[in-house]
Amino acid sequence: MGIVVHLVILLVLIFPTDSLARRSSLSSEQKTQLSHIQTIRVSALALTEKGFASPELILQVVQRRFEELGFLVVTDASELHDVEFHIICEERKHQQSVPRYGTDAELTNTPDRLWNGPACQLSYRLEGRDLGWHKEVHPSNREDALIPREEQILGTDASVFEPLTRELERLDFPVMLLSEWGQTHRLVVLLTDPQTPPTRRLVILDLLRQFPDSEALPYLLKLIEQGQYSEEAIGALSGLGHEVVPHLQHLFESRDRSVLIRAAAAKGLGRIMRADGDPEVTTVLLKYLSKAVADIRSSSDIEFPVLTEVVWAVGSIHHKPTVKLISTLQDEIWLIYDNSPEMKKLRDVVSVVHKYLDFNQI
């Protein structure tokens, strides 16, 4: 079962979903409009089992969080605005249909058709058109959502939304929208601001990994050189493709860097190789693998994090020299007496890649 799970993971890595697919469906005019959004009209609706409740607290939270990022927020539909942001909160959520388009279904905070509330649905409209961005907020402690209904009735109508209001304070949906709207200039300002909390920086780096923008390149390189969030910054850097290969290669080959940094660089190179089939990256990774296989005599000769990532990376190269290297590596690591977690992980990865490559030789 473990081998099957690892094989599925490898297939996902080798044939990645394009996280930009939904964004690429937008027209150039829409992308330009989104990148220049400054004024947001916010509307909120709160529905309980007994009818409508006041959404005032929810509106206040959302308005404050957008204003903290420098946006102007209005609530009157007659006032000029660039985009509409909608929040619909329900005590018992209605059935969620399958999205008509978009690739967000597998991502965190997207609508869950199996969850029946309480929940808040977040979405936006540009010139009255729903562009397919939908997020869903549940109480972080699901026990809040399982309070017996008779106890909920004893409280005020708005009390059922208190856990959701707290969750809207926690969820970084404004930063998600900065990425969605292509406002990288705002993201890098937050990323480099010393006052930005670590959790928000990690969210930003993850978004830059999913939705790369060359505007972020100098800021990512600076973070790496400063030793701040280096592994996450390298992950974001790798999304930029061929132009960052020299930077990743330098990190990968620098012996004065930690093995974790070099492993992150190997992972990034592997991502680029799978996406672009870059021959330069292929040569770099296979050169390392060949030397590592030739030098192994004991566990002390193995840079476990680096070698593990290199093996994952070359798992999609279907030619005889690679298959032979992986086969030789598998024989050698099983001859070494080592039951450490690092060796176990390496053996698992090598076994999965070997089976995958061997299968493709049939």
Cα separation of 139 and 96, whole Å?
Answer: 17
Q: Are 46 and 58 in contact (CB under 8 A)?
A: yes
**Banded pLDDT at 5 (limits 50, 70, 90):** very low
For residue 243, pLDDT beyond 70: yes
Task: Break the chain into its structural domains and give their ranges.
Answer: 21-180
Global confidence as pTM: 0.81
- pLDDT value of position 252: 96
Query: How much of the chain, in percent, has pLDDT values that exceed 90?
Result: 64
Q: Mean pLDDT, to the nearest integer, of 20-42?
A: 84
| Closest to 48 (Cα-Cα) out of 142, 135, 153, 165 | 153
Chain segment 70-108, per-residue pLDDT in tens: 999 999 999 999 999 999 999 887 655 555 544 454 455
Structure confidence by residue, pLDDT tens digits, 164-180: 999 999 999 999 999 99
pLDDT digits (tens, 9 = 90+) for 94-153: 655 555 544 454 455 666 666 676 889 999 999 999 998 999 888 876 544 444 444 444
| Model confidence at 335: pLDDT above 70 | yes
Average of per-residue pLDDT values in the chain: 84
Mean pLDDT of 13-27: 54
Of 34-43, 64-73, 276-285, 299-308, which range is least confident? 276-285
pLDDT in tens, 264-274: 999 999 999 98
Determine the pLDDT at residue 40.
Answer: 97
**Quick check: 26 pLDDT over 90?**
no
Q: Which residue has the higher pLDDT, 275 or 205?
A: 205
